[in-house]
Structures are given as C-alpha cells and as structure tokens.
Structure 1
Amino acid sequence: MITAKDFLDKWKKETYGLVSFDEKIIELFSLSRETKDFLSKAGLPDSSPPFLTFESSANGGGVRLTEKYENAEEEYSKFIYVGFTGNGDPICIDEENDEVLYFDNENDNEEIFINSSISQLAESMIAYVDFIEKIKDVNGKKAFLERNATQDLLAWIANRLEKIDSDSLIQGSFWEEELSNYNKL
C-alpha cells in the first residue's frame, strides 16, 4: 500500500490539486491510525478521474455523513464523508472497517464498494491516471471521454487495480463498473 508521503510524491498536484482534512476532527473518528495519518498528512485530490471530487474540511468534507446531510438516518453516522462521484453520490469511509464506498442515490442509497482502504483508493487513482494517459497516447486526447481503450490497456489497468486491492474489481464495485463502461461501445 502507498504511504501518505509516496502519494504526495506521485500525485499530479498541478493537474488535480489536493484537499486537506482537519487533523483535530479526523482524530475524533474511530478510523485506523493509517487512515487518520493519510487524511491529515496527504489529504485527497481535489478531483480525480474517473469524475471523483473530494471536499476539504473547510468545504464540508471529513465529517459524519449525518452531519453533511442532516436528513440522513442515524444508521449512516458510521460513515465519514469525503467527497462525491460524478453523479453526486457521496463517497465515504466506513468507520467500522476503513473501507471506501459510495452511496448510489439512484438505487435506494445502495452501498457500492470502491476500495478496502483510503491508501488503496489513492494508489488506484494514480494507476487510473496512468491508464488515461496511456489510452490518450494510443487513441487520442478524447479517448477517456469516448471510452476508447484497447483490450491490452484494459487488461493492464485491471491487473494494476487487482494488485493494489484484490477486492476492487468484485462484481458491482466502483472500479468493476468503471472498466465495464469501456466494453459498452
């Protein structure tokens, strides 16, 4: 797994920026030390392919989901809100196991698994940015938006994601859905 320092060294900050989380608030949550350190020392990208946006503590991130959405039921209090998907679905960290997931607003807030940890999410985003650069090199600058990737490059990113987090490509997961979009053309 990638460390906070390694993430800061590898992330394309000039392109995608970074947001920070208030260490004092993060420390109040029952998250692992690794997750707390990652959020407070590295933070997360301001935005990242594929259409993920993260919000700093100053902009409403790093709080319980029930704090972000006051009408959320109490069962959602174990989720720490950090951002949202391109569809506006909230991205959260499960306080019980540090897993990263989002709630699919269009499907009765179904929990959709993203990664097993925040560091694996960070490493997966780095790999996905590399993938986008590769498909643009092969198929032109609109390749990502047009979902135009060779089977070799799809196999490459699937292998990278699998090595980073063996659960990241389980049926119905965020990354499995993302890669399946390339086969729908």
Structure 2
Amino acid sequence: MTPIEFRQQFISNALANPGIEQIPELKEQLSKFVQFDRETLVVRGIDQSAADFLAEGGLPQDAAPYLNFNAYSEQELKDLYDLYEMPKEIFPIGANGSGDPLGIEISSQAIVFLNHDANMQRVFINSSIQQFAQSLLCYQQLLKQGQGHELLERLQSIDPVATKAGSMWHAEARSNPYRV
C-alpha cells in the first residue's frame, strides 16, 4: 500500500459514518493528516522508506486507539529530548491517550511507545511504519464493524510480532469492549 493509498483509505473509512456530512467541523477534523519533513527524518536516522511514507502520506492527526500524531519542530524535538528525557534512540511522532510518547526506534525502525508510568519502559507496537499504517486501518475497520475481537487474528497477517503478549496491540485486544 502506498502512503497516498493509506491516507485515502483512512479518510474514506473515517468519513463513511452516517451523518458526518452534516457536521463540517467533524468532517474536517477526521480528514486531518500530519505530514513529516523527509530531511528531518533521514537526518535523525529514519530509513528512507519510512521517511518517504511519512513525508508523502503522513499519519492521521488522531486515530484509534487514542493515538495522536505530530510533526514536531526542531525546538519541540529538543524539548522532548532534553526536558522530558526522551531517549535519543526514539524519534517521536506522537503520543497515546495516556500521554506516553510514541516514536520510531532508530536501531530497528519499529514503532514503540514509552510507558511513562513504568519508567519509560519500551512497549512494542509494530515492526515498521508501513505495518503500523496497515494495523491502524485494520483496527479502524474492525471497530466500525463491531468485530474488535478479531484484532489479533487479523493483525497476524500484517505483523505477527505485534500480536505477542506485551505489545500495544495485544493489550488493546485484551481490553477492547468488542472482544469475545
């Protein structure tokens, strides 16, 4: 899936709910995507394919499960690394609903978050940005269909490592109100 295809499919799914057309502000909010600066990503150690994906298509400003994304300015990056003691081996791309920083691990290019309630313990999300985007789409579709209980089964074909105990998706599947 190309970055543009991801963006188009994500927005299409988000806007497919009945009644959204009558609420322009909500339609606009659901359509917002954050695009990242390719040069900043590459200079910070993000591989070319991930940098291309984030620069061309980006990520939704907000996505289930309670994730938000941000293309931080240089000053914001400096503050995250210095003031908030964000490890330099993580390039921040957003946060989860608990305020835990979400980012790309430079050494592996995996998507992770740092659990601030557990001394910034690394929690695995996906093996790559492309698999992360596919997982976001999958989750979005399953929630819309009321089939959240199928999350781990569906993610197995996208990124088997993301379904293991201790990962974000595993925890989400176990806490999802639609699970069996």
TM-score category of the 2 structures, normalised to the smaller one: 0.7 to 0.9
Identity score, percent: 25
Task: Confirm or deny: 8 A CA contact 1:20 1:57 kept in the other structure.
Answer: no
Is 1:71 paired with 2:83?
Answer: yes
Q: Which moved more, 1:119-128 or 1:156-165?
A: 156-165
Aligned twin of 2:167: 173
Q: In the TM superposition, what are the counterparts of 1:148-167 in structure 2 within 5 Å?
A: 153-167=147-161
Q: In the TM superposition, what are the counterparts of 1:90-129 in structure 2 within 5 Å?
A: 90-129=101-140
Secondary structure of 1:57 counterpart: coil
Runs of 4 or more consecutive aligned structure 1 residues displaced over 4 Å after TM superposition:
58-61
Aligned twin of 1:9: 8
Q: Which runs of 5+ in 1 are unaligned?
A: 136-152
Distance between the aligned counterparts of 2:75 and 2:143, measured in 1? 29
TM-score w.r.t. the length of structure 1 is: 0.79
Aligned twin of 1:131: 142
Distance between the aligned counterparts of 1:11 and 1:178, measured in 2? 20
Matched residue type, 2:138:
A
Matched residue type, 1:162:
Q
Secondary structure of 2:107 counterpart: coil
Q: Which moved more, 1:4-13 or 1:158-167?
A: 4-13
Matched residue type, 2:89:
K
Task: Confirm or deny: 8 A CA contact 2:7 2:59 kept in the other structure.
Answer: no
Distance between the aligned counterparts of 1:180 and 1:59, measured in 2? 37
Distance between the aligned counterparts of 1:59 and 1:18, measured in 2? 19
Aligned twin of 2:98: 87
TM-score w.r.t. the length of structure 2 is: 0.81
Q: Which runs of 5+ in 2 are unaligned?
A: 13-26
CA positional deviation for 1:84: 0.3
Aligned twin of 2:58: 43
Distance between the aligned counterparts of 2:75 and 2:149, measured in 1? 37
Is 1:54 paired with 2:69?
Answer: yes
Task: Confirm or deny: 8 A CA contact 1:16 1:48 kept in the other structure.
Answer: no
Secondary structure of 2:161 counterpart: coil
Q: Say how many residue pairs are matched.
A: 163
Distance between the aligned counterparts of 1:39 and 1:30, measured in 2? 14
